[in-house]
Amino acid sequence: MIKLCGFGLSNYYNKIKLVLLEKQIAFSEELVYPSQDEALLARSPLGKVPFIETEHGCLSESQAILEYLEDSYTELPLYPRDAFQRAKCRELIQHVELNVELIARRLYKAAFFGGTASDETRTEVRERLELSLKGLSKLAKFSPYIGGNVYTAADSVAWIHFGLISMTTQKMYGEDFIAKYLPATADYMSMIGKRLHVQAVAADRANAMAEFMANK
Ligand SMILES: N[C@@H](CCC(=O)N[C@@H](CS)C(=O)NCC(=O)O)C(=O)O
């Protein structure tokens, strides 16, 4: 059985958890926090989460994990069948993660964990986020799903990251950039939020947050 390793506040961990649930793949979970411990580095080379344990060995990087799950468990596909549409789905995921989430990530410490961000960082992140979100607004369809009329892996990814990015920009700039540049996300997020497995992930994440706050 697949073992998913990481912690419930991690957006990339929750991305894979949601994919496992949507594809109805049996899995167990192991609570693992990122670190540079040798024991962890042997399982995840940068000490990051998530990673999964499979019968073949460990696998890190959430997108490699998602594609492994998609290739190995074909019954409930999360990518379209058509090659071009599959590529469009991957294109959306790449834009959300590389051009938006990874940029916003530079502010997470300052926004949520008592860190600081210089004025230069704040300005640079703002400019890059605004450009990227304008670009994403040209790609995202929200009709009603992000890539069109079928729920795909890109929706699992978008739902997970959009919420966190909204909170980050509200905290850092007093403005929700996701709502500003992707206004259709208001209806979209509440529609996706009604899905059974999305609700399960959201509930587990809320518990993880309560635990984190209690131990702060
Ligand atoms: N590209 C990685 C990103 C994973 C990632 O950044 N995970 C965070 C937790 S959400 C982490 O482990 N951070 C610790 C670190 O950067 O050292 C993936 O898609 O799996």
- Say what the alpha-carbon torsion angle 163, 214, 34, 97 is, to the nearest 10 degrees: 0
- Look up the CATH number of the domain holding residue 100: 1.20.1050.10
Residues with CB under 6 A from ligand 1: 10-12, 34, 47-50, 61-63
| Whether this model's pTM surpasses 0.90 | yes
Query: Does residue 89 form part of some domain?
Result: yes
Query: Does residue 77 form part of some domain?
Result: no
User: From the CA of 47, how far away is ligand 1's center (Å)?
Assistant: 8
Helix, strand, coil % over all residues of the chain, rounded to 5:
60, 10, 30
C-alpha–C-alpha distance, residues 106 and 125, integer Å: 8
Task: Tell me what the mean pLDDT of segment 192-212 comes to.
Answer: 96
User: For the chain, what is the mean pLDDT?
Assistant: 97
Query: Does residue 181 form part of some domain?
Result: yes
Checking if the pLDDT of 72 tops 90, the result is yes
Query: Does residue 58 form part of some domain?
Result: yes
Tokens of 202: 């959201």
| Structure confidence at residue 213 (pLDDT) | 87
Write out pLDDT tens, residues 76-114. Answer: 999 999 999 999 999 999 999 999 999 999 999 999 999
Checking if the pLDDT of 206 tops 90, the result is yes
Write out pLDDT tens, residues 15-71. Answer: 999 999 999 999 999 999 999 999 999 999 999 999 999 999 999 999 999 999 999
More confident residue, 211 or 65: 65
Asked if 92 and 68 sit in the same domain, the reply is: no
C-alpha–C-alpha distance, residues 28 and 96, integer Å: 27
Asked if 50 and 98 sit in the same domain, the reply is: no
Asked if 22 and 104 sit in the same domain, the reply is: no
Residue of 14, 48, 101, 168 to test ligand 1 pocket, by largest number of atoms within 8 Å of CB: 48
User: From the CA of 12, how far away is ligand 1's center (Å)?
Assistant: 7
Asked if 112 and 190 sit in the same domain, the reply is: yes
Taking alpha carbons only, the member of 64, 68, 135 closest to residue 95 is 135
Checking if the pLDDT of 216 tops 80, the result is no
C-alpha–C-alpha distance, residues 203 and 174, integer Å: 26
Task: Tell me what the mean pLDDT of segment 186-209 comes to.
Answer: 97
SS3 116: coil
Query: Does residue 51 form part of some domain?
Result: yes
Query: Does residue 12 form part of some domain?
Result: yes
Query: Does residue 107 form part of some domain?
Result: yes
Query: Does residue 78 form part of some domain?
Result: no
Asked if 169 and 107 sit in the same domain, the reply is: yes
Helices H / strands E in the chain, number of each: 11, 4
- If one counts the domains in the chain, the total is 2
User: From the CA of 143, how far away is ligand 1's center (Å)?
Assistant: 30
Asked if 127 and 93 sit in the same domain, the reply is: yes
Domain that holds residue 117: 83-215
